[in-house]
Amino acid sequence: MRIVAVANQKGGVGKTTVTMNLAAAAAENGSQVLVVDVDPQGSASFWADRAGDKLPFDIASDTDPANLAQLRRLDYNTIYVDTPGSLEARDVLTTVLAEADFAILPTEPAALALLPLQRTIEEFIKPRGLDYRVLLNKVDPRVIADAHDAAAQLDRAQLLRFRAFLRDYKAHRTSPIDGQVATQYRDDRSSREAKADFTKVAFELTSLWANAEDNGSAPLKGVI
């Protein structure tokens, strides 16, 4: 089992969209997947309510640290946890990160988004020796240079990042209302590209884990 925390102290960076769609990509590849919504805003739970029984993975909502400390007892291949976007639930976030094997930190490709991102990494991720990758999200498809500039900033700050990034497509913005995840998007050009972005990130993520194991790192809580 792997527990993946999707985290960033800054709100509005797309944590729920990343959580739901990477969970869908993992489920499409045959994994038994659970999404746990620990964000008091309940965005993932709202999404699941809109979807009814159409999601390809299970979802649960819980903000009790005592329960979250038992996540590893559950019978799933992968658990994605959608964490709070502020410090109002610090005990919840710290409990999830203590259980997690990996953290994904979505961020917008904007200079002002990097400060809270760095604060999250320095305060919550690195002290735990938790492996992580920053994921550039909400990239304007018309201005891909923004992603390259942001990637260069992350590299200068010596922050680990995904090579792949997520462009900002309408399908991502409407999917919570439609109750759909990326693997269920309609078959048109922009939706196919939106889905392809998540497929690339999911492939890179599984490759990171496989390489860590091949290199002799611990498969759980390993630092690359």
What is the DSSP track for 12-63?
A: TS-HHHHHHHHHHHHHHTT--EEEEE--TT-HHHHHHHHHTT--SSEEEE--
The pLDDT score that the predictor gives to residue 43 is 94
Mean of the per-residue pLDDT values of the chain: 91
Q: Tell me the sheet residues that pair with 106.
A: 135
Residue 38 has pLDDT above 50, yes or no: yes
- pTM (2 d.p.): 0.93
3-state DSSP assignment of residue 217 = coil
| Residue 113 pLDDT grade (very low, low, confident, very high; cuts 50, 70, 90) | confident
Positive or negative: CA dihedral 33, 38, 43, 48: positive
Decide if 110 contacts 10 (C-beta within 8 A).
no
Directed axis angle between helix 111-120 and helix 145-156, to 10°? 40
Cα–Cα distance, 84 to 93 (Å, whole number) = 7
- Higher-pLDDT residue of 222 and 64 is 64
pLDDT digits (tens, 9 = 90+) for 125-138: 999 999 999 999 99
Q: Across the beta sheet with 33-37, what order do the strands follow?
A: 58-61, 33-37, 78-82, 2-6, 102-107, 131-136
- Using CA atoms, how far residue 149 sits from 92, 153, 217, in Å, is 33, 6, 31
What would the mean pLDDT of 138-149 be, rounded to a whole number? Answer: 94
Residue 46 has pLDDT above 80, yes or no: yes
What domains are defined for the chain?
2-205 (3.40.50.300)
| Residue 143 pLDDT grade (very low, low, confident, very high; cuts 50, 70, 90) | very high
The pLDDT score that the predictor gives to residue 87 is 61
* Least confident residue range of 25-39, 87-101, 125-139, 160-174: 87-101
Residue 219 has pLDDT above 70, yes or no: no
Directed axis angle between helix 170-178 and helix 189-214, to 10°? 90
Decide if 136 contacts 161 (C-beta within 8 A).
yes
The pLDDT score that the predictor gives to residue 85 is 77
pLDDT digits (tens, 9 = 90+) for 175-189: 999 999 999 998 899
The pLDDT score that the predictor gives to residue 11 is 84
Beta-carbon count within 10 A of 180 CB: 22
R_g of the chain computed on alpha carbons: 16
Cα–Cα distance, 175 to 184 (Å, whole number) = 9
What would the mean pLDDT of 83-99 be, rounded to a whole number? Answer: 86
Cα–Cα distance, 46 to 39 (Å, whole number) = 11
The pLDDT score that the predictor gives to residue 222 is 30
3-state DSSP assignment of residue 160 = coil
Q: Tell me the sheet residues that pair with 5.
A: 81, 103
